[in-house]
Amino acid sequence: MAKTKTLAVLIAFFLAAGAASAAPAGKTASVPAIAGFTADDMPYDAGNALLLRWPDGQYGADTVYRVFLSTAAAGGWVHADEFKAADREAKAIPLPFWAWEPLPGELAVKLEIGALVGELKSGSDVKVKAAAYRNDKLIAESLAVTAQIRGNWFRLDRLNNLILLTVIVIAFFWAVSHAKRKGLFIRRIAGLDAIDEAIGRSTEMGKPIFYVPGIGQMSTISTIASTFILGEVAKKVAAYDSQIKVPHYDPVVMTVAKEVVKQSYLEAGRPDSYREDLNFFVSHDQFSYAASVDGMISREKPAAIFFMGYFMAESLLLAEVGSTTGAIQIAGTDVEHQLPFFFTACDYTLIGEELYAAGAYLSKEPMLVSALKVQDLGKLVVMVSVAVGGVLVAVGAKMNWDNLVQVVLTLFKAY
Amino acid sequence: MTETTWIIAGAWISAGLTIFLFSFLYKDNPFFKMAEHLYLGAGMGWWFQVYLYSIWKPKVFEPLLGGDFFVLIPALLGLSLVTQFIPKISWISRYGFTFMMGYGAGMEIPAKLSTDFMSQIAGTIMPFSLMASMSGFDILNALIVAAGTICVLFYFFFSVEHKGSVKKISNVGIYFLMIYFGAAFGNTVMARFSLLYGRFDDLNTSAAASNFYATQIILAAIAAYFLIHSFMGKKGQAEEAH
């Protein structure tokens, strides 16, 4: 009997010891547990955050919560966040209304793991717990909860962007089909009419035309637009039997431009006039490129110069020298802060989107015209959205219709 | 050579190249040409070593030596561009170009959609969400921004002919653009002046006695060259006239 009692006491002792060792670090028997504390992978992210949730109002408004996390790599508990209850209401989670439904009276914390313990692999386990303090005294603590972080393939929070993209793609295909069948109208673009004048002048004077495509790479939209314009300019140059020189900053752009110019000479019926050295590489250093092109312009004194593409600080250096030689200068770029320099030193300047439109206007190519039409559709969407959205938000704010204001603002949320 | 000698040589080269490049403001001359070609060569040399040591070595050679053969895929795509120089196999470069265009479009389209559409709209209507607490001036400011956005966009609307009232809206857009361009012009000019001050400061340093008056001597030499060149040019013209 005594043996049985002793055995029972020992078993009870070991069970108690096991339960005590399984309890989270720092937890004391007198502290109650925070009810309803959960941790899950943060939805619609790249897999580096957790979403912690628990009901608010358990311990009063002056409660301060501290969140701790632990990973296998980091070991021990890391102080992850500290906040007052009012600062982490569920509605503050940065997800749109269609991807996140905040429950009233609930606290929610987005815990960025990467910033605290470094990047973890998708599927890694992270242990978290929260502790409530009042006047710096522990009043409650949650059980430690383990959650896995995972990257998500689909970003439901970006659904508005996807819908807009889908509409644009559908509109583009419709526009291409319409442009091929019936053609699409593009208004006249001032400045482009001067291209004929410039090429004619250079033909009469027997001087070359310089076409400077700027310092953009082939992925730059303005450089792509510039190659389309180059194609049309080269076609006219070939037809007039004038000369064109295209100094390049980027070897890839040069390769593309070579093909474009060659094709233009072929289409103009003058393949015999085409030479490989019409396009030539100068330098991949911005200012040595500018210095060299300046030298060429001042020595060869071209009759016309085109600056079309992506330009930075070299814009004025180039345009100013061209201006002193008396050449007709036509410029176009989408770099807004360089446009003023082209205005001051060039005869005609294509502003921003006009550069994109120029290629379509000159070539009447259905694909380009359609792209321009879709851009116009996009501008129309922006104009209408600003007008209607502005009125709705203003009325909503004035009448205290917070839901309306939030819905409108969330619809146009960018990421 | 001692360190002091190097510093003096550096001051002479720095002052010389600065003055040679500035001499283009007067007219083209052999000194400018020399500096121009040196700049071109130095620029190319600089970028060559940057590509070699910042891209090829750490991103291709070292991973390959470490057994990471996946880097061969982008490296071969990049090298395919070089086949443009060999007409018979230049078609291979299309693979590299196609990848670049596809990658570029994939990167750009979502980003542009976000910044050019969503951010633009949200940024313009956001101030109205504070309507309840806005002063009259704040409301006017928000309205000007919204009206300016719409008018400027109208200027870039190519689907309708700009006539009548459409032209008026578009013209208002041009005024907004010009105000922006004026501000951008002033801002950039100020930045350029700071670069000019930097050059002048450098010339001033090189003009010190410790640098053997590098700036003054090079300036005087350039001025003498232009004078002699001008005199000889006039003499040549006079002889031709006779």
Q: Are residues A212 and A252 in the same domain?
A: yes
Question: Are A376 and B159 an interchain contact pair (Cβ–Cβ within 8 Å)?
Answer: yes
pLDDT at A276 over 70: yes
Q: Number of folded domains in chain A? A: 3
pLDDT digits (tens, 9 = 90+) for B47-60: 899 999 999 999 99
At a CB cut-off of 8 Å and minimum separation 6, what does B147 contact? B172
pLDDT at residue B107, as a whole number: 85
Q: Are residues A344 and A230 in the same domain?
A: yes
At a CB cut-off of 8 Å and minimum separation 6, what does A396 contact? A402, A404, A405, A408, B129
Rounded to an integer, the average pLDDT of A10-34 is 52
Give percent of chain B above pLDDT 90.
62
The band of A14, judged by pLDDT with boundaries at 50, 70 and 90, is very low
pLDDT at residue A19, as a whole number: 41
Rounded to an integer, the average pLDDT of B57-78 is 93
Q: Are residues A61 and A116 in the same domain?
A: yes
Q: Are residues A395 and A332 in the same domain?
A: no
Q: Are residues A310 and A261 in the same domain?
A: yes
Task: Assign residue A316 the CATH number of its domain.
Answer: 3.40.50.720
Q: Are residues A80 and A198 in the same domain?
A: no
Classify strands A279-281 and A244-248 as parallel, antiparallel or unpaired. Answer: parallel
B199-238 residues touching A, CB cutoff 8 A:
none
Q: Are residues A201 and A106 in the same domain?
A: no
pLDDT at A129 over 80: yes
Q: Are residues A113 and A221 in the same domain?
A: no
Domain with A143 in it: 30-148
Q: Are residues A169 and A114 in the same domain?
A: no
- Residue B29: its chain A contacts at CB < 8 A? none
Question: Are A394 and B131 an interchain contact pair (Cβ–Cβ within 8 Å)?
Answer: yes
Among the ranges A77-91, A384-398, B86-100, B104-118, which has the highest mean pLDDT value?
A: A384-398
The band of B28, judged by pLDDT with boundaries at 50, 70 and 90, is confident
| SS3 category, A3 | helix
Strand partners, A67: A81, A130
Q: With CA atoms as reference, report the closest residue to A207 among A199, A215, A196, A218.
A: A199
What is d(CA B222, CA B91) in angstroms, rounded to the nearest whole number? 52
Mean pLDDT score of chain A: 86
Q: With CA atoms as reference, report the closest residue to A192 among B172, B167, B158.
A: B158
Q: Is there a domain that residue A22 lies in? A: no
The band of B31, judged by pLDDT with boundaries at 50, 70 and 90, is very high
Question: Are B44 and A351 an interchain contact pair (Cβ–Cβ within 8 Å)?
Answer: no
Greatest CA separation for chain A: 124
Q: Is there a domain that residue A218 lies in? A: yes
In the sheet that holds A106-112, the strands lie side by side as A38-41, A49-55, A106-112
What is d(CA A55, CA A38) in angstroms, rounded to the nearest whole number? 10
Q: Is there a domain that residue A19 lies in? A: no
pLDDT at residue B159, as a whole number: 87
pLDDT at residue A4, as a whole number: 52
A234-273 residues touching B, CB cutoff 8 A:
251-252, 255-256
Rounded to an integer, the average pLDDT of A347-357 is 90
The band of A161, judged by pLDDT with boundaries at 50, 70 and 90, is confident
Q: Which of A89-93, A166-170, A199-203 shows the lowest per-residue confidence on average (mean pLDDT)?
A: A89-93
Helix spans in A124-192 (H): 159-181
Q: Is there a domain that residue A142 lies in? A: yes
Torsion sign across C-alpha atoms A288, B52, A312, A369: positive
Q: Does A293 touch chain B (CB under 8 A)?
A: no
B125-164 residues touching A, CB cutoff 8 A:
125-126, 128-132, 142, 146, 149-150, 153-154, 156-162
- Among left, alpha and beta (phi > 0; psi -120 to 50; other), residue B125 is alpha
- Name the residue facing A387 among B113, B150, B184 (closest C-beta): B150
Q: Are residues A235 and A331 in the same domain?
A: yes
Q: Cα-flanking dihedrals φ and ψ of residue A125, to 5°?
A: -85, 135
Tokens of A378: 């996009």
At a CB cut-off of 8 Å and minimum separation 6, what does B87 contact? none
Q: With CA atoms as reference, report the closest residue to A410 among B129, B142, B116, B147.
A: B129
Rounded to an integer, the average pLDDT of A244-252 is 93
pLDDT at A27 over 50: no
pLDDT at residue A191, as a whole number: 78
Task: Assign residue A77 the CATH number of its domain.
Answer: 2.60.40.10
Nearest CA in chain B to A320: B25
The band of B240, judged by pLDDT with boundaries at 50, 70 and 90, is low
Which of B132 and A397 is assigned the larger pLDDT? A397
- Residue A164: its chain B contacts at CB < 8 A? 113, 117-118
Tokens of A86: 């009012």
Question: Are A283 and B160 an interchain contact pair (Cβ–Cβ within 8 Å)?
Answer: no
- Name the residue facing B132 among A338, A400, A408 (closest C-beta): A400
Q: Does A336 touch chain B (CB under 8 A)?
A: yes
Interface with chain A: mutation pick from B81, B158, B166, highest number of A CBs within 10 Å: B158
- Name the residue facing A382 among B121, B130, B132 (closest C-beta): B121
- Name the residue facing A386 among B103, B119, B146 (closest C-beta): B146
Q: Are residues A193 and A327 in the same domain?
A: yes
What is d(CA B108, CA A222) in angstroms, rounded to the nearest whole number? 13
- Name the residue facing A252 among B81, B131, B180 (closest C-beta): B81
Q: Is there a domain that residue A329 lies in? A: yes
pLDDT at residue A5, as a whole number: 54
Report the gap between the CA of B133 and the closest CA in chain A (Å).
9
Strand partners, B51: none
pLDDT digits (tens, 9 = 90+) for A300-341: 999 999 999 999 999 999 999 999 999 999 999 999 889 999
pLDDT digits (tens, 9 = 90+) for A139-148: 899 999 999 9
What is d(CA A308, CA A360) in angstroms, rounded to the nearest whole number? 14
The ranges assigned to domains in chain B are: 134-206
Q: Are residues A41 and A135 in the same domain?
A: yes
Give percent of chain B above pLDDT 70.
97
